[in-house]
Amino acid sequence: MKKYDVVVIGAGPGGYVAAIRASQNGLKTAIIDKQWLGGVCLNVGCIPSKSLLRNADLAYTLRNRTKEFGISFDNLVLDFGAAVKRSRAVSKRLTKGVGFLMRKNNIDVYMGKARFDNPSQVSVALEDGSEEILEGKNLIIATGAHSFTPPAWELDGEKVISYTEAILQEKLPESVVIIGAGAIGAEFSTIWNSYGTEVHLVEMLPHILPLEDPEVSRELEKAFKKSGINVLANHKVETVEKTKNGVKVTVSNDGEETEINAEQALVAIGFRPNSSELGLEEIGVKLDEKGNIIVDDTMSTNVSGVWAIGDVTGKLLLAHVASTQGILCADAITGKNTRPINYTMVPSATFCHPQVASFGMTEEEAQEAGYEVKVGKFLFRPNGKALGLAEPDGFVKIITDAKYGEILGASLIGPEVSELLPELTLAQKMEMTAEEIATNIHTHPTLSEVLMEAAEAAIGKPIHM
């Protein structure tokens, strides 16, 4: 038996960050993962998908916008397989980097499947068939989540696929039905459509990206339709059937059914926590009705010495949330003072085209919470940098409290808005007002000027509108 101060189960963005911070705090640390360092995010999620999206951006420009940019050529060839190979190289580089960080911080790595023997001990079935028993004063569960597919849809990895197969397959589908218009559905719609795939995007709720401000969702829907994506919001999937040449997906809207035939169907309707097969019930760790591990503000479970972070807690399924929870948890274990995470104000981004980013409350949510709301909105269309980039669509919308000027949230859609959002989240965290953003000098010409203009609109003094 090997003894540690901290044993982390799961080496994704939450787990490996928690392990590094625990080691930095002077704790002897080990980390376990049954598949790969870096977790889903670095291997088959956020990192390789951003690489594919960059290729998609180039592909879309070459296929659809060459005349606009004064470019001409004959016999364009787009090699989707090469794009996937590049994404794998990017992923591999970063996962190697995580391995380096483990060595640098003297963290012992065990590749295998872990299960609790008791609240301070886990058995690890290693890849070579042997077993290690690790004892930890503190054990952090960071096992993440997996995509959910209704059993009747029979996920087979070829005709009916999850995001894992979608991101790894080197063959470009000629046609695809994407079921679910959250971040994964929107991003793969962008990727495949850019390469010329016939894309049908189905969402049961009234709008795509249903958790975003409805105004943003409508703007994205308009952009998707303009690019040729068949958007079917407010449509319920009734059946997914495999055919000789692919799949037949039957959807309904107000009782009227439509059949869509395609080569593949991508199921992207949600996730379930990886909380089973760990032996949590035997040691008394409490789960909610969905299987998420229940934690307090320090990421502690109800069992002393057992902690949980990341997607397995069901708080917010975002890599940066998992990393933040990991640091908080490792500091709490050391006895440091920690601040609870304000999940309402956590930023999020969807890297479709155009990009979407947001944090805090939407206009509707702020009104429902009882605030007297004042909104500052500015379009990208008058912005010189956006016009120069030939990306003039979209807007920035800042939600403020009319009484005190407090920033309550923001919704953005347009070029590189994922990179613009941190100015607003930092301003909110430091209790700045829209007026202070408006009076901050922004470099010209930049996309960030749209933030300044939206802030000026929020205080009733817009310049360029």
Would you name the residues annotated as active-site residues? 444
Calculate the alpha carbon distances from 362 to 168, 273, 351 in Å.
35, 27, 19
Please state, in angstroms and rounded to a whole number, the distance separating the CA atoms of residues 379 and 397. Answer: 9
Q: Is 227 helix (H, G, I), strand (E, B) or coil?
A: coil
Query: Across-strand partners of 136?
Result: 4
Please state, in angstroms and rounded to a whole number, the distance separating the CA atoms of residues 96 and 103. Answer: 11
Residues in CB range of 454: below 8 A, 6 or more apart? 376, 377, 378, 395, 396, 397, 398, 410
Contact between residue 350 and residue 186 where contact means Cβ atoms under 8 Å apart: yes
Please state, in angstroms and rounded to a whole number, the distance separating the CA atoms of residues 411 and 357. Answer: 6
Please state, in angstroms and rounded to a whole number, the distance separating the CA atoms of residues 85 and 91. Answer: 10
Instruction: Report the run of H or E that residue 131 belongs to, with start and end.
Output: strand 131-141
Please state, in angstroms and rounded to a whole number, the distance separating the CA atoms of residues 350 and 266. Answer: 18
445: alpha, beta or left, given left = phi > 0 and alpha = psi -120 to 50? beta
CB atoms within 10 A of CB 156: 11
Contact between residue 193 and residue 229 where contact means Cβ atoms under 8 Å apart: yes
Cis, peptide link before residue 354, omega less than 30° from 0: yes
